[in-house]
Structure 1
């Protein structure tokens, strides 16, 4: 696999940048979720992300050594990027010298944030090259969606990632529920809706099925509700010619949709009021069996968050800087934490202490504390406002919808703080910055005409 990395780096500096960065996305997306992960290991536990980071750092170092770095005034990184990276440095120091977290664990925890430097990579692309790259990855995602649908038909996982496989009964038909839909599918749903140019209505219907059917087959209630909510919100905001009654109907749906998942969760819980009271009183042992929450997943997530936040608030240092940059299931973690709520590790059977794929806020508070979480949210919200104020309507609707989706679903997944999901946003950011930079030149051309 390192041969591909070296080849991709050479392509980057030989004028084949799109093909080169496509290799970067190949590693970023777990070998496009098709190549077995064992092929990346080399017997030393390497993961696809390690190759993506090696590629990115290789490009960055060569660019620095050859004095081809962009000038500071170009501002190729989003606002507050450097502030967040400065916090990461502070968090590394605190973790090592105050919490005594081993260096290896710290580096493995923070390495994914190197992906924030992707802007330096994308900045070398022209706008047509960025558009071509997005289209290629869009087609790959559509193919992966077809493979995901095939999984449900044959009842066996094919794509990489945690598959699950619980049986769901739908109108008398048993359908396996798999979680490993294409990584960037949420982004490309909005790309397909607002940016892609269709050649015919038949193509539009076919691609729409490939985009939306995997989400439905995942039976991820909150994700489905959130996607519908944002679609309705966009219709409400951008459909200027609708009647007042139509808009009032949409407004009612907008108010109802976000709460529907919580209402369903409450109606199916095993005594929600008593459960919440026990959790607030710190009686976590009463819920040490996650099976008790089988029909009340929202309560489980909130209880997990409350238990870990309770620990974080014990001292001023942990309150502001978090509990540390440790890894899951290591001697350090097992000796320092004893949380009773959480998902069980498939390998050890023990409750996972610091990592979860169920709620982003646990990751943010445990890793970064209040200070780091606030800084990250400032970075995220500023990025959102950058697109919201942008003049490219299609890109604005695509990225703002995607970022809003990640924020809304942050209580059910960790997309908002997983850098692989942030990279397409940085790609669009670079494109919009380049577009803004070209505007004065385009105005001059129009004046000369």
Structure 2
């Protein structure tokens, strides 16, 4: 499937359908929206390979096509922040090769996932319809994926082989968070029935899977959006927040499993101070803390982390918290798919974390400063704020370049039509 999508993307690239190419790039680089698909038709079709690698190759071709046909903008607040982050990541990789003996292949494998940050240089040259159209396509794909998950969960009829968690079912797509909210506030000015139905469909897999990180993220984004809406009177803000709280408690009241998971998560906080993990939430906090404590014991690792060495080539048993790997007879030391902060601390240290947060902060600041112009700015600011403060504790998506494709692209598209450069 991924090879078919890649070839389709190549054809669309030569036909100048940049909208669909952007969508395919995101779909491949996110490995099917982070859906845990086990069907070999989707993952290792024809030969063994990584799905996201095909997306990165397609992105490189897309980048240079835009660069040579429309140009690029390499200066600006956001461009400068990205340039500093990428420069640090590159120099850190050179240090790894020269002084740590890390394989250049390991360095390239790490850096490739951050390559999509370079989209900041070419998005000012994209058409508004290309950016918005692609984002809308991803929204529709997310709704379709959620329909499949809901159908398979409720009927037990397997159309696509997903990996499922015991007693929890199929993990929802990572984009279910953003599109639950964006449909709920009618981002695309659809009919009320269509937009509320789409929002409900996006949220249902989160509820069926009892994915607390996603569910709480949706709630917090909605709270933040209401509180920061510049055109809404304070009385209306308070009323809206209270309404959401009542609905949330009502949902917890009719869902014993959700209520038990939330209660368990709250209780887990009591065990963190003792260094004991009693569940997913406390495990994630302690996982990140253990990595932070380790790197800060040494000046070099505090500055740059352990580096880009792959899990397979790292032979030390440094950490006790991690997922057990049967092949290596130990817990995974460097890689995890749940906690962004653990990855940042281990891979790039405190200095790399600072550069990353500066870039993320500049992006949020640009949305925040323009919130009086449109609720769209407020919505994106709310999404980014909760993502970095909360969602990052249960997901590492925001550590990869593809996460920033639409937050960066939409910002430039929102600015004004005159800001973009059009072909003549």
Aligned match for 2:273, one of 272, 276, 279: 276
Match of 1:302 in 2: 285
Q: CA deviation at 1:118?
A: 2.5
Task: Report which structure shows greater RCO (CA 8 Å, sep ≥6).
Answer: 2
Aligned match for 1:411, one of 393, 418, 421: 393
Q: Is the 8 A contact 1:359 1:412 kept in 2?
A: yes
Count, aligned residues: 404
Q: Greater Rg, structure 1 or structure 2?
A: 1
Query: How far did residue 312 of structure 1 move?
Result: 0.9
Question: TM-score, normalization: structure 2?
Answer: 0.82
- Closer, same or farther in 2 for the Cα pair 1:78/1:217, shift >3 Å? farther
Matched ranges for 1:197-236 at <5 A: 197-236=188-227
Unmatched 5+ residue regions in structure 1? 168-175, 280-286, 288-292, 440-449
Matched with 1:394 is: 375
Moved over 6 A (4+): 251-254, 260-263
Aligned to 1:447: none
Which residue is 1:340 aligned to?
Answer: 320
Structure 2 distance, partners of 1:211, 1:54, is 30
**3-state DSSP of counterpart to 2:166:** strand
- Residues 61 and 132 (structure 1), Cα distance of their counterparts in 2 relative to 1, 3 Å cut: closer
Given that 2:292 and 2:345 are in contact with CA atoms closer than 8 Å, whether structure 1 keeps it comes out as yes
- Structure 1's 29 and 313: CA in aligned 2 closer, same or farther, altered over 3 A? closer
1:178 aligned residue: 170
Q: 2:226, 2:237 within 8 Å by CA — same for their partners in 1?
A: no
Residue-by-residue CA offset, 1:358-408 (whole Å, 9 max, x unaligned): 221100100110000011001001101111122552321331122123112
**Alignment partner for residue 354 of structure 2, among 344, 363, 374?**
374
Consecutive unaligned residues in structure 2, runs of 5 or more: 250-258
Report the CA distance between 1:244 and its aligned residue: 8.2
Choose from 309, 327, 342 the match for 1:326: 309
Distance 1:252 1:212 in 2: 15
Instruction: Quickly say closer, same or farther: Cα 1:382–1:435, change in 2 above 3 A.
Output: farther
Deviation at 1:127, TM superposition (A): 1.1
- Change in CA separation of 1:423 and 1:72 when aligned onto 2, cut-off 3 Å: closer
Q: Decide whether the 8 Å contact of 1:18 with 1:133 is kept in 2.
A: yes
Out of 83-92 and 97-106, give the one that drifted further: 97-106
Distance 1:154 1:297, change over 3 A: same
Which residue of 1 is the match for residue 339 of structure 2? 359
SS at match of 1:80: helix
Give CA deviations for 1:53-111 in whole Å, capped at 9, x if unaligned: 111112334555x47532545x4954400000010111101221222111111111121
Q: TM-score if structure 1 supplies the norm length?
A: 0.78
Moved more, 40-49 or 303-312: 40-49
